[in-house]
Structure 1
Amino acid sequence: MRVPPAGPVAARLSFVDRFLAVWILLAMGVGLGLGRLVPGLGDALAKVTVTGVSLPIALGLLVMMYPVLAKVRYDRLDAVTRDRRLLVPSLVLNWALGPALMFTLAWLLLPDLPEYRTGLIIVGLARCIAMVIIWNDLACGDREAAAVLVALNSVFQVIAFSALGWFYLTVLPSWLGLERTGLDISVWEIARSVLIFLGIPLAAGFLTRRLGERARGRAWYESELIPRIGPFALYGLLFTIVVLFALQGGAITSRPTDVARIALPLLVYFAVMWAGSMALGKAVGLDYPRSTTLAFTAAGNNFELAIAVAIATFGASSGQALAGVVGPLIEVPVLIGLVHVALAARRYFPRPTAMTAEHAPAQEGSARV
């Protein structure tokens, strides 16, 4: 599942892969249309939930993440964990700058809409552990680095989410003389979300590679098995998008002005976080794949957790929940656009040495730079 630049590589892609951005936009449109035109569809999809997330969305996320995590070469993760130029900036971007930036944008651009403002601050606190893996893979980022950073975000999410929510919604507004809001979410609820949406596909991907390589060897695994299971990441992504937007299609299409107000700080947030992280990666000497991974893991957000927290705390029909839903409405097209920007920016990074190329994960249908 690739979105490489136009040229000989793109010509070798399948029809589905070549127009991935089109299919994503169509999936969003289909979901919004179904949610608007089919009475009761959103309620039906929301009846059964997993950690506050609709069961169909949960299944779509698991199917989406499994093939990408099955591609990770787990025996090379130690090379990532030793790279402080990657790990330290990632922690700072995700857990210091990201939440602070969203807090600032929410108060600057939504001073008169407290429910939406609170919802956006919750989105900023929920660092991405799921869909970012897809964006990173599409942009030819470093899969092993993405696996490590996502795991690191997961640990910090369990430890820090509640404390940061209390700080940004209660303590900091009090210091600044602003309106305060409470956030009631337990550490166990966050840990359960992480275990389901990351733990299950991670374990499945690891076991698939371990058992597959043991039975038939790495060459067979990467040339035969991976191409067979790889397309399911795309199918899971498109299914998730359709269900996600069908779930809130009525609310989104009936309140376009509110959606536009919520979208503005999100657009600024994604652009600033992604561009700043990409520039930082290049400045500290990271190559293109790891700079790309740094950028997408810093810019993406865990909308599953944000929506679940907003619904659990404020209710499914609240403005906070709507702000959480608008998050992926803006994030999906923006980050798929940034995939193309990233691929175009490869020319500004040094070409890899033979050693780098040897250790870069293979990408089906696309060549590493």
Structure 2
Amino acid sequence: MTARTPAVIGGLSTLDRFLPLWIGLAMGAGLLLGRTVPGLDAALEAVKIGEISLPIALGLLLMMYPVLAKVRYDRLDAVTADRRMLPASLVLNWVAGPALMFALAWALLPDLPEYRTGLIIVGLARCIAMVLIWNDLACGDREAAAVLVALNSIFQVVAFGALGWFYLQVLPGWLGLSQTALDVSMWDIAQYVLIFLGIPLIAGYLSRELGERTRGREWYESRFLPRIGPVALYGLLFTIVILFALQGETITSRPGDVARIALPLLAYFFLMFGGSFLAGRMIGLGYERTTTLAFTAAGNNFELAIAVAVGVFGVTSGQALAGVVGPLIEVPVLVALVYVSLWGRRLFRGKETVHA
């Protein structure tokens, strides 16, 4: 992304400033293509990585690489030494987030077990991809985002299956509610983490190492990064078009179900972001790390959630539809929260730091 004055929205580039418009157009274009082009969904699904369409995988890799190339990896030790942010992130992501989604799903979808299960799976899939875009747009701490995303990835591999068992079988049993089995292996989760985080992370690290070694940091940050920066947003828009093209018919043919699924999702994103933002302020974090804490807690890994729902319950299942509706709601809401975050920067005057 291009250089901008962090505190002033008017200083954003044209691409950044009108991002909600571009995202709206991308979503509309995807839905229209999915409804009007015969056989498009079959063509896009013809080549897959696991249960994820190859075009979506390519879009995600393009989206994540420029952001990870911006990270100053020699500063990561300052992030890992932060004894306030890391524990707060773990609690928000792996205790508060899944519990909140479980509560909202049962409270608002008591009569729709398939959608309820799908939303609980979304709540278990902590964000490792698009959060880097939202964090960067809101001028969060890039190094902290990289650390928290890596931490989420490790916990995702280890804890996803166990948490799925707990929230879909054990806890409902304790509460006298209906139970659902979730059969997913650690390798199923690990392969998505390795593909969607490992590849762009290695590419970003090598870009900085080789670029600074051969041309220097000044050239790398003032010449190279501005050239590749817009690729992240182009990758985001491409991913959105493909995603909604694949699911356009499902979404537009069941508007009532989409609306029911959207309600707990809307509540979840606003409550998680607002609560995490206030938590960061209360424990004494500056604006940049508070913003990173809030976005990493509020975002979800929709790629993983959709893949698990499709793999376990089938592509036409209600669980899969709930996973698909996730980004339909998450993308515009978290874009809006970028602007809310920038507005909230005034709460941190005198405490903020500025990253390059």
Please tell me the TM-score bracket, short chain as reference. over 0.9
Contact 1:3 1:139 in 2 (8 A): no
Measured after TM superposition, the shift of residue 31 of structure 1 is 0.6
Aligned residue in 2 for 1:367 = none
Instruction: Name the aligned partner's letter for residue 48 of structure 2.
Output: T
> In structure 2, what is the equivalent of residue 97 of structure 1?
96
Structure 1 residues 177 and 2 mapped into 2: Cα distance closer, same or farther (>3 Å)?
A: farther
Q: What residue in structure 1 maps to residue 152 of structure 2?
A: 153
Residue of structure 1 equivalent to 2:132:
133
| Residue 233 of structure 1, CA deviation | 0.3
Structure 2 residue 297 is the aligned partner of structure 1 residue 298: yes
Correspondence for 2:262: 263
Partner of 2:242: 243
Asked whether the 8 Å contact 2:61–2:196 carries over to 1, the reply is: yes
The gaps in structure 2 that reach 5 residues or longer are none
Question: What letter matches 2:229 in structure 1?
Answer: G
Q: Deviations over 1:293-343 (max 9, x none)?
A: 000000000000000000000001110000000000000000000000000
Quote the offset at 1:8 in angstroms. Answer: 7.0
In structure 1, distance between residues paired with 2:126 and 2:100: 13
Please name the residue that 1:50 is paired with: 49
**Match of residue 344 from structure 2:** 345
Q: State the match for 2:315 in structure 1.
A: 316
Q: Structure 1's 230 and 171: CA in aligned 2 closer, same or farther, altered over 3 A?
A: same
Deviations along 1:204-259, one digit per CA (max 9) or x if unpaired, are 00000000000011001000000011110011000000001111000000100000
Moved over 6 A (4+): 2-9
Cα gap change, 1:3/1:213 in structure 2, threshold over 3 Å: closer, same or farther?
Answer: closer
How far is 1:47 from its partner? 2.1
Residues 168-227 of structure 1, C-alpha deviation per residue, up to 9 Å, x if partnerless? 001111111111101111101101110000000000000000000000110010000000
Corresponding position of 1:332: 331
1:124 alignment counterpart? 123
Paired AA for residue 33 in structure 2:
L
Q: How many Å apart are 1:361 and its aligned residue? A: 2.6
- TM alignment of 1:156-167, pairs within 5 A: 156-167=155-166
| TM-superposed deviation, 1:3 | 10
Contact residue 16 and residue 137 of structure 2 kept, 8 A: no
Contact 1:35 1:42 in 2 (8 A): yes
Displacement of 1:52: 1.1
Change (3 A) 1:326 1:2: farther
Conservation of the 8 A alpha-carbon contact between 2:161 and 2:186? yes
2:198 corresponds to which residue? 199
Where does residue 361 of structure 1 map in the other structure? 355
Q: Hey, what does 1:280 align to over in structure 2?
A: 279
**What's the CA shift for 1:48?**
1.5
TM-superposed CA distance for 1:7, in Å, is 9.2
Distance 1:247 1:213 in 2: 40
With over 3 angstroms needed to count, the CA separation of the structure-2 counterparts of 1:6 and 1:165, relative to structure 1, is closer
Normalised by the size of structure 2, how large is the TM-score?
0.97
Asked whether the equivalents of residues 9 and 17 of structure 2 are also in contact (C-alpha less than 8 Å), the reply is: no
Preserved contact between residue 165 and residue 183 of structure 1 (Cα < 8 Å): yes
Q: Secondary structure at the match of 2:284?
A: coil
Number of aligned residue pairs: give it: 356
| Contact residue 273 and residue 297 of structure 2 kept, 8 A | yes
Aligned counterpart, 1:231: 230
**Deviations, residues 36-87 of structure 1 (Å, cap 9, x unaligned):** 1112212221222112111100000000000000000000000000001100
Identity %: 73
How far, CA to CA, are the matches of 1:135 and 1:157 in structure 2?
A: 20
Amino acid at match of 1:196: I
Seen in structure 2, the aligned counterparts of structure 1 residues 297 and 14 have a Cα distance that, compared at 3 Å, is closer
Distance 1:210 1:311, change over 3 A: same
For 1:8 and 1:99, locate their aligned partners in 2 and report how far apart those are by CA, in whole Å: 34
Partner Cα separation in structure 2 for residue 4 and residue 101 of structure 1: 35
Determine whether 1:252 maps to 2:251.
yes
- In the TM superposition, residue 16 of structure 1 has moved relative to its aligned partner by 2.5
* C-alpha deviation, 1:265, in angstroms: 0.1
Q: Calculate the TM-score normalised by the size of structure 1.
A: 0.94
CA distance in 2, matches of 1:7, 1:76: 23
1:236 is paired with a residue whose SS is helix
Partner of 1:365: none
1:35 aligns with 2:29: no
The separation in 1 between residues aligned to 2:298 and 2:336, in whole angstroms, is 13
Name the residue aligned to 1:178.
Answer: 177
Paired residue type of 1:248: Q
Q: Distance in 2 between matches of 1:241 and 1:75?
A: 33
In 1, the alpha carbon distance for the partners of 2:254 and 2:200 equals 35
1:248 aligned counterpart, secondary structure: helix
CA displacement, residues 246-292 of structure 1 (integer Å, 9 cap, x when unaligned): 11000000100000000000000000000000000000000000000
Taking only aligned residues, the RMSD between alpha carbons, in angstroms, comes to: 1.6
Spell out, residue by residue over 1:118-172, the C-alpha distance to the aligned partner (whole angstroms, 9 max, x if none). Answer: 0000000000000000000000000000000000000000000000000000111
